[in-house]
Homo-oligomer: A and B are copies of this chain.
Amino acid sequence: MNDMRLIRAKSGTNQEGTSAHNRRVMIDALRLNGQLSRADLARATALTKQTVSNIIEDLERDGLVESLEAVRNGRGQPSTPYRLVPEGAFAIGLQIDRHVTRTIAVDLVGRVLARGEANLPAGGPATGVRTILELIEKTRRDLTEIAPQSEDRLVGLGAAMPGPFGIEADDDDPWMMAAWQNFPLLETLATGTGLDVGLQNDAAAAATAERMVGAAHGVDHAICIYLGYGLGAGLILNGELYRGANGNAGEIGMILSLPRGASLDERTPLEHRASIASLCRLLDLDPADPELYAHIDAIAAGPDERVRRWLDAAVFELRAAVQALETIFDPQTVILCGGLPPGLARLLVEAMIPLLPSIADRRDRSLPRLQIGFTDPWAVAIGAAAEPISRTFDPRFSAILKTREHAAV
């Protein structure tokens, strides 16, 4: 009524939203179950056989699904199973880390088709953007060589970097991460590549990877603790990654906690004790060393007093963190993943057993309380690449709603 009054409302939907959702549901069902017949899909999605037939026909024409040999399953006409076509879609992932940047190309089913890596020059975005755009370009070329059809079927670019975003810069910032966090990365990458770009913090990216091809596959309520240079959590709630009001949800490394045996009330960030950064400090390692993970792996293998001390402190924090996250989220499972050597991850998880008691101690559990997920320096880049696939093909509330050119919700 008043001309410029701000009206708050959620967006409505229409038939397009319906159709888009149903297509996504089909794709999700095929991803989750491997292969399904039209009749299976109709039963699983509560849609009619006819609707499923129409949508599958569409998806087949679009090259996203394909039929397999008919199978006899007892009485009745044999069914024709369908599955996703891996080459139906591709996406590029970009990880920006403190001293290195990585790219990954994946297909619709999450297989990694190409990788790229480059050192990031000092100086933050001012000097780094060029390196990054070149690396993306190279990965696109590599991908096109492997899969010529990919250029038409590239659904987007996913970027991942340490958070938090949009917070005033820290004072001691040897790698200019704050400069990156406040840099208009989305816009720069979008204009630089012509792709739709998404941005997540690295724990969220790790969770996206776990959800698409890892331990959280098909799990609608999971917490992924990401232990990398820093510490974060990727929150999968109701089957979707939760981002918070400003995209900073899950930055658990910044929770202020009391160190083990502290007598003062001096709370310090969790990641001062539970992160690769803290381990590097204890071991006097250079985090910029490209051989860092090999070094850590080697040191962790043998008995080492400093590693023991670090483990002690980290396990103290992480046991509490798992218990707190279980209590807060009531998830089906907690997944520990990160850019740390698998051997160290195993040591950590073993030392965390027995977990602290929590409401997760249920008799009807089907998943373990704590699992190990990806422990791989490339996990974040894979998750970054998975994000555009998820954004484009996974069922989600926002995909049903109409979009408005002007103000958001």
Chain A interface (Cβ within 8 Å of chain B)?
1-3, 7-15, 17-18, 21-22, 25, 28-29, 32-33, 36-37, 39-41, 43-47, 51, 71, 73-74, 79, 81, 164, 166-168, 218, 220-221, 233, 235, 237-239, 242-252, 254-258, 260-263, 265, 267, 316, 320, 323-325, 327-332, 356-359, 361-364, 395, 397, 400-404, 409
Task: Let me know if B362 and A11 touch, CB within 8 A.
Answer: no
State the 4 A-B residue pairs at the shortest beta-carbon distance, nearest first: A244-B330, A9-B29, A9-B44, A12-B45
Write out the residue numbers on chain B whose beta carbons fall within 8 Å of the beta carbon of A328.
233, 235, 249-252, 255, 325, 328
CB < 8 Å neighbour of A164 from B359, B404, B409: B359
Chain B nearest CB, measured from A53 CB (Å): 13
Chain B nearest CB, measured from A267 CB (Å): 7
Most chain B beta-carbon neighbours within 10 Å: one of A12, A13, A166, A247? A12
Write out the residue numbers on chain B whose beta carbons fall within 8 Å of the beta carbon of A248.
330, 359
A interface: dominant SS? loop
Copies per complex of this chain: 2
Write out the residue numbers on chain B whose beta carbons fall within 8 Å of the beta carbon of A46.
11-12, 401-404
Chain B nearest CB, measured from A321 CB (Å): 10
User: Could you list 25 examples of A-B contacts with CB < 8 Å?
Assistant: A3-B73, A7-B29, A7-B43, A8-B29, A8-B33, A8-B44, A9-B28, A9-B32, A9-B45, A12-B22, A13-B21, A164-B359, A166-B362, A167-B361, A167-B362, A168-B363, A238-B242, A245-B330, A245-B331, A245-B332, A246-B362, A248-B330, A252-B328, A255-B324, A255-B328
Write out the residue numbers on chain B whose beta carbons fall within 8 Å of the beta carbon of A261.
263, 265
Write out the residue numbers on chain B whose beta carbons fall within 8 Å of the beta carbon of A239.
10
CB < 8 Å neighbour of A74 from B3, B233, B257: B3
Task: Let me know if B71 and A256 touch, CB within 8 A.
Answer: no
Write out the residue numbers on chain B whose beta carbons fall within 8 Å of the beta carbon of A359.
164, 167, 246, 248, 251, 254
Task: Let me know if A73 and B1 touch, CB within 8 A.
Answer: yes
CA distance A316 to B320 in the complex (A): 17
Write out the residue numbers on chain B whose beta carbons fall within 8 Å of the beta carbon of A362.
166-167, 246
Most chain B beta-carbon neighbours within 10 Å: one of A44, A220, A239, A247? A44
| CB closest chain-B residue, reference A32 | B8
Write out the residue numbers on chain B whose beta carbons fall within 8 Å of the beta carbon of A403.
46
Task: Let me know if B51 and A255 touch, CB within 8 A.
Answer: no
Chain B nearest CB, measured from A24 CB (Å): 8
Chain B nearest CB, measured from A70 CB (Å): 10
Task: Let me know if A12 and B51 touch, CB within 8 A.
Answer: yes
